[in-house]
Chain A
Amino acid sequence: MLRLLATIRKELIILVRDKGGLAVMFLMPMMLITIMALIQDAPFKDYQEMKIPLALVNHDKGKLGKSIEAGLRESKIFAINSKDFSEQELKQKVKGGDYEIGILIPEQATQRLEDRVNDFVGKKLSAVGMGGAALSLNDKVDSAIDLKVVFAPTTKKSFKASIMGSLKQSASKLETQTLLAVFSQQLNRDTGAKKEQPPMADFIEFKELNAIETPKEALQLNSVQHNVPAWTIFGMFFIVISLAGSIIKERESGSYTRLLTMPGNYLTIMAGKISSYLLVCLIQCVLMLLVGIYLLPHLGLPRLIIGNNIPAIGIIAASAGLAATGYGIMVGSLFTSQQQSSTFGAVSVVILAALGGIWVPVYVMPEAIRMFAGFSPLYWALTAFHKIFLGDGDIKSILPYAAKLVAFFVATVGISFFYNKTHTR
C-alpha cells in the first residue's frame, strides 16, 4: 500500500508541476466545450427546427387546395410561400435554389375531384337500382387531377418519398371525405332519410408520444447536451498524451529500470499511475460538467441538464477514465519515443472521437461511418452519458457501456503488461 500511495503522490506532484500538461488536460477541453457549443448551437437548432422553403402555387382556390396547404402547414417543417407562378416559373425558382420544393395545384382541381366522385357514386348506385344516372357528365371526369411537385436537384430520395406520401395522404383524405359526402347525399335523396352529415373527422388518428415519460420529456439533444459530455470524454482520453509521455520519459531516464530493481512489481507501479490519472479524469469530468451547468448559460447557451442519477454519472466517468488511462498505458508501453506516442496518441484519439460522435452526433453521420461508431470507447461513454442526461437512464441501463469501457481498460493494460514482460526479460 505504501508503494501504491507513494507512486500516486509522485505522479500527482509531477502532474501539478507540468503546466503544459495541465493546460491540455483542463483548459483545452474547457475551451473546446465552450467554443464547440457556441459554434454548433445554431446548426443544432437548424437541424431540429429546420424549415424547408416551399413554394405553393394554388390555382384551385377550392377544398383540395386548402386541404393540401393545411396538411403542409400542419407538418411544421415547411416555410410555405404562396405564389402565383406558372409551371415554368416554378421550375426555374426551384432550380435556382429559391425553394427546395414547389407544388402546383391546377385550376378547378376541387371541382374536378367532386365531378369525378359524383360520377363514380352515380354509376355505382344506378348499378344496384338506386338513383339515376351519373350526376356529372363532365368530359374530363375520367382524367386524373395533376398535382405537380417540383424538387430541387439536391433533394434526397427519402425526403422526396416522404413529401409525396404526405401529399397523397392529404389528397386521399379529401377524396374519401368527398366520396362519403356524395354517397350520403345520394342515399338521403333516394331513401328520403333525414339529412345527416357524414363523419368528416379521421376514423384513425395517430398520436405522437414521447418515449420518455418524465418531467424531462421536452429535453432534446441540443448543442450543450451534446458538446459538454462529448468534449469531456475527449479531454479524458486526451490524457493519453500526458500519460504515455510520462511512461516513456520514465523509461528513457532509467527511472523505470531502477523501479524494476526495487521490491514491488510492475502492477503496483502501474496501479499508482492509473489511480493518479483516473483521479485527474474524474476532476476533469466534474469541472467540465460545472462549465456546462454554470458557465455556458452566461454565454447565451442552454444550461446543461445532468439529471439526478449522480451514481450513474460516477460509474460512467470512472469507467471512461479507466479506459482512457488503460489506453495511455498501452500507447506508452508500445511506443519507444515521446514523439511517436504523442503523434499516435493524439491522432488515434481524434479518429476515435470522430467515429464515436464527439465532433458531430452519430445520427447525422453517413451509414457507412455510423457502423464503425460501435468500436469507439468514446462512443460507449458518450451514449451512456446521453442516456443519463437525456433519457433518465438508470445504473442498469448504462452498465453495458460501463462494462465495455472496463473491458477495454483490462484489454489495454493486459497488452501493456504482456508487452513489457516479453520485452524486458
Chain B
Amino acid sequence: MPAETAIEVVRLYKQYKGSGEAAVNHISFSIPSGSIFGLLGPNGAGKTTTISMLCGLLAPTSGTATILGLKLKDNLKLIKQQIGVVPQEIALYPTLTAYENLRYIGNMYGLKGQNLKEEIMRHLEIVGLSAHADARVETFSGGMKRRINLVAGILHNPKILFLDEPTVGVDVQSRNLITEHLHLINKRGCTIIYTSHLMEEAEKLCTDIAVIDNGAIIAMGKPQQLIEDHHTNNLEQLFLKLTGKTLRD
C-alpha cells in the first residue's frame, strides 16, 4: 500500500447472522491520505456496515482492511488510538455538561490534565460553545448537540475521522459551522470518511466519493469527474441516476 493511502479495503464482505443477503458484498477501494471521502448511498445500502467494520465495531465475514498501514484485524488497539468516530446519534451523556462529556472522552483516549482542558476549550471556542462549557448537554439545542458530538470525535486529533451523517437535523448555521470545522481539520492532515444523504453538502465537502448500493460500490472517483462522466448536472442527479428512484426501506 502506498504511504499516501489512509485506508485500503480489499474484497470486504459482511453477512449478518440469519440474513440471506450480504450487507456488504466484496467491496474494494482505497482512500488517499488527506482526502475527504464521501461514502454515499440510499438507506440500507451498506454505508454504516462498512464504516462499522473499519472502526472495529463489526468483524468482517471475509476480506481485509488496512488502516494507516496497519492490518485492521491484528492492530485494532493501535488503530483505535488513531481514528475518531462521530456517530449519527448524539452519543453524549445528557446530564453531564459539555466540558464533563469532553473530559471523559478525552480521558478515554489517554488525554488528561491541563493539555486536555486547553484542547477542550480550544475546540469549544471553534464551534462557538465556549460559553456553554458548564451547561448540561440536555439543555442544548439540536445544533449545539451536533457540534459537541463532532468535537467529541476530534478531541484527540485523530489521523482518520469517520463521520456518519454529522449534520442531520441541524439548522443551516450549525451545518455551515460544522463543515467549516471539517475543512479546517482536514487541512491539518486528517483524512475524513463521511456518509450523508445531503448531496449538495457532499458535493461541496468531498474530494472523493464512492456510491454504494445493495452492498456493492457502483461508482467511485472525484465528484466533478463522476458528474461529467454520467452527463448529469450535480451530485444529486448522479446519485438518482445510479441508484434509481425506487423508494428504499
Chain B neighbourhood of A253, CB < 8 A: 89-94
Given contacts A6-B107, A253-B91, A254-B89, contact A260 B100 (CB under 8 A): no
Q: Is B124 an interface residue (CB 8 A)?
A: no
Q: In the bound complex, what is the Cα–Cα distance between A262 and B87 (angstroms)?
A: 13
Most buried by B among A6, A17, A258: A258
A257 near B87: Cβ-Cβ < 8 Å: yes
A3 near B108: Cβ-Cβ < 8 Å: yes
A-B contact pairs, 17 of them (CB 8 A): A2-B107, A2-B112, A3-B108, A10-B96, A10-B100, A14-B93, A254-B87, A257-B85, A258-B85, A258-B105, A258-B153, A261-B80, A262-B105, A263-B80, A263-B81, A263-B110, A424-B57
Chain A neighbourhood of B58, CB < 8 A: 424-425
User: Hey, which bits of chain A sit against chain B, CB under 8 A?
Assistant: 2-3, 5-7, 9-10, 13-14, 17-18, 250, 253-255, 257-264, 424-425
A6 near B108: Cβ-Cβ < 8 Å: yes
- With A254-B87, A255-B93, A263-B81 already in contact, 19 other A-B pairs whose C-beta atoms are closer than 8 Å: A3-B107, A6-B104, A6-B108, A13-B95, A13-B100, A14-B95, A17-B95, A18-B95, A253-B89, A253-B92, A253-B93, A254-B89, A258-B87, A260-B57, A261-B57, A263-B109, A424-B57, A425-B58, A425-B59
Q: Is B238 an interface residue (CB 8 A)?
A: no
Q: What is the chain B residue whose CB lies nearest that of A259?
A: B108
Most buried by A among B90, B96, B104, B152: B104
B138 → chain A, closest Cβ, in Å? 10
Q: In the bound complex, what is the Cα–Cα distance between A17 and B136 (angstroms)?
A: 11
Given contacts A261-B80, A424-B57, contact A2 B110 (CB under 8 A): yes
Where chain B touches its partner, the secondary structure class is loop
A261 → chain B, closest Cβ, in Å? 4
Q: In the bound complex, what is the Cα–Cα distance between A9 and B106 (angstroms)?
A: 13
B134 → chain A, closest Cβ, in Å? 13
The 3 lowest CB-CB distance pairs between A and B, nearest first, are A254-B89, A6-B107, A254-B91
Q: In the bound complex, what is the Cα–Cα distance between A318 and B88 (angstroms)?
A: 39
Q: In the bound complex, what is the Cα–Cα distance between A6 and B108 (angstroms)?
A: 7
Given contacts A17-B95, A18-B95, A261-B80, contact A254 B88 (CB under 8 A): yes
B164 → chain A, closest Cβ, in Å? 9
Q: Is B77 an interface residue (CB 8 A)?
A: yes
Chain A neighbourhood of B94, CB < 8 A: 253
Chain A neighbourhood of B152, CB < 8 A: 258
Chain B neighbourhood of A264, CB < 8 A: 108
Given contacts A13-B100, A263-B81, contact A257 B91 (CB under 8 A): yes
Q: Is B211 an interface residue (CB 8 A)?
A: no
Q: In the bound complex, what is the Cα–Cα distance between A17 and B55 (angstroms)?
A: 32
Which B residues, 83 to 135, have Cβ-Cβ distances below 8 Å to chain A?
A: 83, 85, 87-96, 100, 103-105, 107-110, 112
Where chain A touches its partner, the secondary structure class is helix
Q: Is B69 an interface residue (CB 8 A)?
A: no
A258 near B96: Cβ-Cβ < 8 Å: no
Q: In the bound complex, what is the Cα–Cα distance between A263 and B109 (angstroms)?
A: 6
Q: How many residues of B contact A (CB 8 A)?
A: 32
A255 near B91: Cβ-Cβ < 8 Å: yes
Q: What is the chain A residue whose CB lies nearest that of B111?
A: A2
Identify which of A17, A261, A424 contacts B83 (C-beta below 8 A): A261
B85 near A14: Cβ-Cβ < 8 Å: no
A261 near B85: Cβ-Cβ < 8 Å: yes
Q: In the bound complex, what is the Cα–Cα distance between A236 and B109 (angstroms)?
A: 32
Q: Is B56 an interface residue (CB 8 A)?
A: yes
Chain B neighbourhood of A260, CB < 8 A: 56-57
Most buried by A among B56, B87, B107, B109: B107
A253 → chain B, closest Cβ, in Å? 6
Most buried by B among A3, A13, A255: A255
Most buried by B among A261, A264, A425: A261
Chain B neighbourhood of A258, CB < 8 A: 85, 87, 91, 105, 152-153
Q: In the bound complex, what is the Cα–Cα distance between A255 and B153 (angstroms)?
A: 11
A25 → chain B, closest Cβ, in Å? 16
Q: In the bound complex, what is the Cα–Cα distance between A9 and B104 (angstroms)?
A: 9
Chain B neighbourhood of A2, CB < 8 A: 107, 110, 112
A246 → chain B, closest Cβ, in Å? 10
Q: In the bound complex, what is the Cα–Cα distance between A425 and B77 (angstroms)?
A: 15
B161 → chain A, closest Cβ, in Å? 11
Chain A neighbourhood of B110, CB < 8 A: 2-3, 263
Q: What is the chain A residue whose CB lies nearest that of B58?
A: A425
B108 near A255: Cβ-Cβ < 8 Å: no
B56 near A261: Cβ-Cβ < 8 Å: yes
Most buried by A among B56, B87, B91, B153: B91
Q: In the bound complex, what is the Cα–Cα distance between A287 and B150 (angstroms)?
A: 42
Q: What is the chain A residue whose CB lies nearest that of B104?
A: A10
Chain A neighbourhood of B93, CB < 8 A: 10, 14, 250, 253, 255
Q: In the bound complex, what is the Cα–Cα distance between A22 and B93 (angstroms)?
A: 18
A13 near B96: Cβ-Cβ < 8 Å: yes
Q: In the bound complex, what is the Cα–Cα distance between A348 and B18 (angstroms)?
A: 31
B19 → chain A, closest Cβ, in Å? 14
Q: In the bound complex, what is the Cα–Cα distance between A258 and B162 (angstroms)?
A: 11
Q: In the bound complex, what is the Cα–Cα distance between A2 and B111 (angstroms)?
A: 9
Chain B neighbourhood of A10, CB < 8 A: 93, 96, 100, 104
Which B residues, 50 to 67, have Cβ-Cβ distances below 8 Å to chain A?
A: 55-59
Q: In the bound complex, what is the Cα–Cα distance between A3 and B108 (angstroms)?
A: 5
